[in-house]
Amino acid sequence: METVKDVNETNGQLTTDHLLTINDLTETELTDLIQEAIVLKQELKEGIPHPHLQGKTLGMIFEKSSTRTRVSFETGMLQLGGHALFLSSKDIQLGRGEPVSDTAKVLSRYVDGLMIRTFDHETIEEFARHATVPVINGLTDPHHPTQVLADLMTIYEYKGTFEGLKLCYIGDGNNNMTHSLLQGAALTGMNMTVSSPEGYQPDPGIFKEASIKASKKGADISFSTDPHEAVKDADIIVTDVWTSMGMEDETNERLTAFKPYQVNSKLAEHAKSDYLFLHCLPAHREEEVTAEIIDGPHSAVFDEAENRLHAQKALLKKIMKK
């Protein structure tokens, strides 16, 4: 399976067919995507059309429910001059046992790109092996690269740089947001601390790889079970729901384990005075975060949600315009 290695200097396009994790990007490519997203965002506000994908079609396969992913990709394709098809796994032959490889090969004959939101990361990897069109990971259990592209864009808009920043993620360390943020922090050279209870630490392989990459840029990746220590002098605080899709049977156990990890005003006192709060949404107010924080002056969650549209348009343009 191909991974992104460099940018095509002649047209700025990504040289791979697929984006499955943040690690499929180089630092240059990530920076280029963020800058492109900012341009597309400004053009949209000024009413400047940008039909870069005129006549192109994106197939969107959903095995997990979605609000932001579906609407942002569908709207993004429309604004780029193309079209998006919503394909529920229940409505296509995947739901009746057709092999992933056959579905990938068939859909590649009809559409110009595929976005998949599913559970197992192995599923999207198999799609990528057999598809002859670009495959984008809209979310899997261990990775959420399109959300983190929007997060990084939001951080850059607010802070103007990644250099020297400290990002603190508080909550479930072993989920897709934590893993993709670790990869994003390592790529941009941000410092990052994860704070979770014992038993909910990030995947050891992803954490180790991010630590090594970050250290080469002079940044630090760390873990702490003490959220007050972890959030000290943080520029960005990020959290997510305590119970992800597919883990509902663990809800009561998780509510108990994560109770000390709620992002509230007492915890946020340890961050920098101009800290930025992010959450990928949907949020459970008074659970992982208080209303005072998520609806307060430090919160950028709705800018972050809007940026899903712009960051994904940049990605679609660069990965599908070949």
Active site residue 70: no
Binding residues for carbamoyl phosphate: 66-69, 93, 117, 144-147, 280-281, 308
3-state secondary structure of 19: strand
Binding residues: 66-69, 93, 117, 144-147, 176, 240, 244-245, 280-281, 308
Q: Which one of 79, 168, 262, 280 is the catalytic residue? A: 280
Active site residue 220: no
Length of the chain, in residues = 322
Report the alpha-carbon distance of residue 105 to residue 112 in Å, rounded.
12
Active site residue 147: yes
Active site residue 183: no
Report the alpha-carbon distance of residue 100 to residue 242 in Å, rounded.
31
Closest CA to 87 of 107, 101, 112: 107
Report the alpha-carbon distance of residue 292 to residue 263 in Å, rounded.
10
Report the alpha-carbon distance of residue 221 to residue 214 in Å, rounded.
7
Binding residues for L-ornithine: 176, 240, 244-245
CA neighbours within 13 Å on the CB side: how many for 131? 28
Evaluate the omega torsion of the peptide bond into residue 282 and state whether it is cis, within 30 degrees of 0: yes
Active site residue 117: yes
Report the alpha-carbon distance of residue 25 to residue 33 in Å, rounded.
10
Q: Which one of 52, 143, 144, 254 is the catalytic residue? A: 144
Kindly list the strands in the beta sheet with 236-239, ordered across the sheet, starting from the edge strand earlier in the chain. Answer: 221-224, 191-195, 166-170, 236-239, 276-279
Closest CA to 149 of 20, 13, 62: 20
Q: Which one of 147, 183, 262, 312 is the catalytic residue? A: 147
Which residue carries 């969107």 as its tokens?
60
3-state secondary structure 182-234: HHHHHHHCCEEEEECCCCCCCCHHHHHHHHHHHHHCCCCEEEECCHHHHCCCC
Strand 221-224 to 191-195 pairing: parallel
Active site residue 168: no
CA angle 237, 238, 240 (to 5 degrees): 150
Catalytically annotated residues: 117, 144, 147, 240, 280, 308
